[in-house]
Amino acid sequence: DWSMSDFVSEAKSAIKEMVGHRVVIGAVSGGVDSTVAAVLMKEAVGDQFHGFLVDNGVMRKNEAVEVMDRLANRCGVNLQLVDASEKFLDRLTGVSEPEKKRKIIGNTFIECFEKEASKLNADFLLQGTLYPDVIESISHKGPSATIKTHHNVGGLPDHMKLKLIEPLRFLFKDEVRALGLELGIERESIFRHPFPGPGLAIRILGDITTKRLKILQEADSIFLHELRVHNLYNEIGQAFAVLLPVKAVGVMGDKRTYEEVITLRAVKTSDYMTADWFDLPTPMLRKTSARIVNEVPGVNRVTYDITSKPPGTIEWE
């Protein structure tokens, strides 16, 4: 007899009771979990929830603007865009080691979030943690079955003394999607492919420069557009373009070119621990390849990654 609408009303009243008139902050990425958590929080406490979208400069083409439009304009979430792209890109310049990129992005993110969040005098931090992430720490029980509280949130300084709110902590991914639909969030937001926190930084192999970032954003945007147009997006677990650290010789008119190489990745997977490369239809690949080499200056070759996981990983870094 358990239904998602019961879950929503129980979660809302538990959150309201816990928060009272105080302030809740949270980082929002635009992914499924943070989107659903933010909309639930807005439903429960309105503008007492204050979300931050940190633009780290390595998001997909137009992503920051689109997330703001979806969540702030259409869902009414009190969401502030923090444009830290220059700071991130400065620190990423010349870095090619994958784990170094991840560390720089993680640390810079916390720094930017804390700087903005500390202006607000908040008592609570919202996190979109799911059940699989917290199975080990289940012994902690908060005021209701849907909320856990504790102090000293990892990564943020102790002086902020934030209590954690994790309204999704007893849900699996498919339940989070059902909750999102129950909250009226549009399907396109709910059925998005996952996107890694370090963003395009781990898909630009070799030097990260603004020029190479722009190339990857354009190629990736064309690929995802073609997947949607061909009704393939929802059959795929994750799809994206990667910019390789090699150049290839090509020919354009009567001129020889020497330019960047893009590889396309699309996988079918149930849990992202293992994955099969997706057998994309040849006409779709043909169209995507032609569009990328014609429309993205600086690219003269497109390849398709036909490696499963294992032995490959989904990402290239």
Among 102, 268, 287, 291, binds ligand XMP (CB under 6 A): 102
Q: Find out whether 31 is annotated in a ligand binding site.
A: yes
By the 10 Å C-beta count (0-12 exposed, 13-18 middle, 19+ buried), 149 is classed as middle
Scanning 164-172, 175-183, 257-265, 309-317 for contacts with ligand XMP by CB under 6 A, the matching segment is 309-317
Q: Find out whether 33 is annotated in a ligand binding site.
A: yes
**Is 205 near ligand XMP (CB under 6 A)?**
no
Can you spell out the DSSP letters for 118-172? TTS--SEEE----HHHHGGGTT---SBTTB---SS-TTS-GGG-PEEE-TTTT--
Of 173 and 230, nearer to ligand XMP (C-beta) is: 173
What x/- string results for residues 251 through 280 when contact with ligand XMP is judged by CB under 6 A? ---------------------x--------
Scanning 52-60, 129-137, 194-202, 285-293 for contacts with ligand XMP by CB under 6 A, the matching segment is 194-202
**Is 309 near ligand XMP (CB under 6 A)?**
yes
**Is 315 near ligand XMP (CB under 6 A)?**
yes
Shortest distance (Å) from residue 195 CB to ligand XMP? 7
Among 198, 223, 260, 263, binds ligand XMP (CB under 6 A): 198
**Is 12 near ligand XMP (CB under 6 A)?**
no
Q: Find out whether 29 is annotated in a ligand binding site.
A: yes
Count of residues touching ligand XMP (by CB under 6 A) = 11
**Is 194 near ligand XMP (CB under 6 A)?**
yes
**Is 191 near ligand XMP (CB under 6 A)?**
no
**Is 314 near ligand XMP (CB under 6 A)?**
yes
Among 48, 238, 263, 288, binds ligand XMP (CB under 6 A): 238
Nearest to 282 by CA among 304, 301, 315: 304
Of 20 and 311, nearer to ligand XMP (C-beta) is: 311
Shortest distance (Å) from residue 275 CB to ligand XMP? 7
Q: Find out whether 237 is annotated in a ligand binding site.
A: no
Can you spell out the DSSP letters for the chain? ---HHHHHHHHHHHHHHHHTT--EEEE--SSHHHHHHHHHHHHHHGGGEEEEEEE-S-SPTTHHHHHHIIIIIIT---EEEEE-HHHHHHHHTT---HHHHHHHHHHHHHHHHHHHHTTS--SEEE----HHHHGGGTT---SBTTB---SS-TTS-GGG-PEEE-TTTT--HHHHHHHHHHTT--HHHHTPPP--TTGGGGGB-S---HHHHHHHHHHHHHHHHHHHHTT-GGG-SEEEEEEEEEEEEEEETTEEEEEEEEEEEEEE-SSSSSBEE----HHHHHHHHHHHHHHSTTEEEEEE----BTTS-SS--
Q: Report the DSSP beta bridge partners of residue 240.
A: 265
> What is the identity of the amino acid at 143?
P
Scanning 5-13, 191-199, 241-249, 257-265 for contacts with ligand XMP by CB under 6 A, the matching segment is 191-199
Q: Find out whether 20 is annotated in a ligand binding site.
A: no
Scanning 57-65, 116-124, 173-181, 193-201 for contacts with ligand XMP by CB under 6 A, the matching segment is 193-201
**Is 197 near ligand XMP (CB under 6 A)?**
yes
Residues that bind ligand XMP (CB under 6 A): 102, 194, 196-198, 238, 272, 309, 313-315
Annotated binding site for ATP: 29-35
